[in-house]
Structure 1
């Protein structure tokens, strides 16, 4: 069908931009979000360059597309007359950013470029503390299955959407819809103008940005208030009531609705069944039928690093997951439990000292659902263990897990090498291994299956 269904507000997506002749330089281009913007701007006709402090698979994809990207930050990387695009992670003393300021170049946050690029399409934007990457992937996959050619921006890699059938984190299609993973971590999702807004859930995270849950909920309220139609959890009566009062179309979702009584999915886990219900609701809000929306999701293969099967190690199946919040860790382990392993070995690397300090007990409770537990030290990303974060360690998580695990084997791994040694001694045909975290622990899963 053509999916032109809309109410009196009419379809969005009337923006336009003259991209030919524009020079855009992205500082920190090696991540999922920034690399996706670089690729789309290049596809639209802009001259795009970028840099990052270290190389990545995302940068390799940009090189393959003919985009000049550089490892390392140097003022010489910045083209004359370029628009400069940065993410929240770029510090003010970055040499390229400082040079751009001295030269009077236009400096923009990545969210502004995302909003500009997306303005030429009808937008489905997916926000939420958990599940937004997978739900965005589900919607992108389903729209293609329904005969459309969507554009998309995802904070992960979607198999089958890249060159030669590979994975991709962004794409610029010919269809009328763009599906966007909307980031609440820095408030940048408020720059979007969605026709359909999806809220998967609202839970505290990113404590450096949001003071409390009320403030965070207020931001989600503002995000949803921009949309014609909103898909949100059944349990969020308060937000639904506020939006109904403003004559927004509301589609609630839970494990049984919308959609048929049973959803056929290729991915495990109750959280994925919830994500799929949200996706069905968004497709229906976009004008598609209930049955065809549900059917279009049945073959969804998942997103890389979300319960991703990597191979085998000493006879054990190895899965890799990006979970970095206690709720996500619990959901990942519960999903992998559906494979019915005799032994589930969880290997967890905490991400950020601040998050570890706040959630160490909750991480321990989540990890105690495994049969054996291995914890690495914190992956610091942008943080240092100083001031109020001094003394924070992955040992805090291990102690909490051991306290709740009732004598289950629990191990401390100082680094990836020691984690690999421990896991190899514990692996066997009766086991499933789950490497979990948002840092470089994904390298461990690659190492485990390499031999």
Structure 2
């Protein structure tokens, strides 16, 4: 995308994905505004307060933003109806940018030594959050954009689903459901699993093959994913496999064996390669058992 945007308006800025993009836009020095039907709802106050703290101006979703601002483009998601007032009252010729294209534009503008993109049919948000928080506690000062709120990054001025970071590492939740993971180039690709939630398995396997081809250096993937995409596509990459199936793994690929795993509403436990010291416990929400 060659056009440089100096101002963007996010229609539905309070959504978990859109609010992350709006924060990322503001962090890159773009004049950023947003609107949302639920802007006045108390349950959304923390996200909107964080947006405002980052100089994202929030307007009612009635087209009134154009009384004060003429944005270069409108960022929207598929949840926004065609008769939305922010569409209907926009100045003639104002381009629209789907959220996946906005993510592509903003990610391409990130200056980082290692862009890590986390993909998979399920678990993307959890692993993106866990990876970003682990890197943060290791002192790596990572950036992150994801579809969840990372505990370590929640504050009065940050919603928790975006952090600019210090430039060396940036972690992105990569979505296969709309194939937007193919819109940008990562240094490291992580593929957690392959399922049929959005596409038949053979179609998704080809999406993941292209994702791997687009990745510059490192591939971390499940053994079931490797079986689906094949080894040829990984040629020339640094590959690390973690076993989640009985599918064979080539002897020259490092493979982490998962010895024990169990999970429930109280959290998850796993141990790797028969080393007790490698065991990991992840807490879960204690209230989920009472739903």
Q: Give the shorter-chain TM-score range.
A: 0.7 to 0.9
Residues 144 and 262 of structure 1, relative CA distance in 2, 3 Å threshold: farther
**How far does residue 134 in structure 1 lie from its aligned partner after superposition?**
0.9
Q: Which residue of 1 aligns with 2:256?
A: 258
Aligned residues between the structures = 264
Which of residues 61, 69, 84 in structure 1 aligns to 2:58? 69
Measure the CA separation in 2 of the matches of 1:16 and 1:254: 41
Label 1:298 to 1:118 Cα distance change in 2 as closer, same or farther (>3 A): farther
Does residue 40 (structure 1) correspond to residue 32 (structure 2)? The answer is no
Question: Does 1:238 find its partner at 2:238?
Answer: no
Give me the whole-angstrom Cα distance separating, in 2, the residues matched to 1:205 and 1:35. 25
Matches within 5 A, 1:400-411: none
The answer to whether the Cα contact below 8 Å between 2:145 and 2:171 also exists between their aligned partners in 1 is yes
Partner-residue secondary structure (3-state), 2:141? coil
Shift of 1:145: 2.3
* Corresponding position: 1:85 with 2:68: no
Secondary structure of the corresponding residue to residue 219 of structure 2: strand
More helix, by proportion: 1
- The structure where strand makes up a greater share of residues is 2
Correspondence for 1:49 among 33, 50, 62: 33
Are the counterparts in 2 of residues 129 and 203 from structure 1 also a CA contact under 8 Å? yes
SS at match of 2:32: strand
Does structure 2 retain, via aligned residues, the 8 Å contact 1:148–1:175? Answer: no
Bigger-Rg structure (1/2): 1
Q: Is 2:199 aligned against 1:199? A: no
Q: 2:168 corresponds to which residue?
A: 176
- Aligned structure 1 segments of 4 or more residues deviating by more than 4 angstroms: 15-19, 164-167, 259-263
| CA RMSD after TM alignment | 3.4
Q: Where in structure 2 are the equivalents of 1:97-246 lying within 5 Å?
A: 97-100=87-90, 103-119=92-108, 120-121=111-112, 122-163=114-155, 168-206=160-198, 210=199, 212-227=200-215, 228-236=217-225, 237-244=227-234, 246=235
Describe the shift of the 1:185–1:260 C-alpha distance in structure 2 as closer, same or farther (beyond 3 A). Answer: closer
Distance 1:213 1:52 in 2: 36
**Distance of aligned partners of 1:259 and 1:117 in 2 relative to their CA distance in 1, 3 Å threshold:** farther
Scaled by the length of structure 2, the TM-score of the pair is 0.78
Does the 8 Å contact 1:160/1:167 carry over to 2? no
SS of the equivalent of 2:152 reads coil
Whether the 8 Å CA contact 1:115–1:193 is kept in 2: the answer is no
- Aligned-partner Cα distance in 2 for 1:230–1:161: 27
Secondary structure of the structure 1 residue equivalent to 2:70:
coil
Give the distance between the partners of 2:186 and 2:154, measured in 1 at CA.
25
Gaps of at least 5 residues in structure 1 are 1-14, 278-290, 310-317, 320-431, 436-451
Aligned to 1:94: 84
- 2:80 match: secondary structure: coil
Q: Please tell me whether the aligned partners of residues 151 and 177 of structure 1 are also in contact (alpha carbons under 8 angstroms).
A: yes
Q: Which residues of structure 2 form unaligned runs of 5+?
A: 246-254
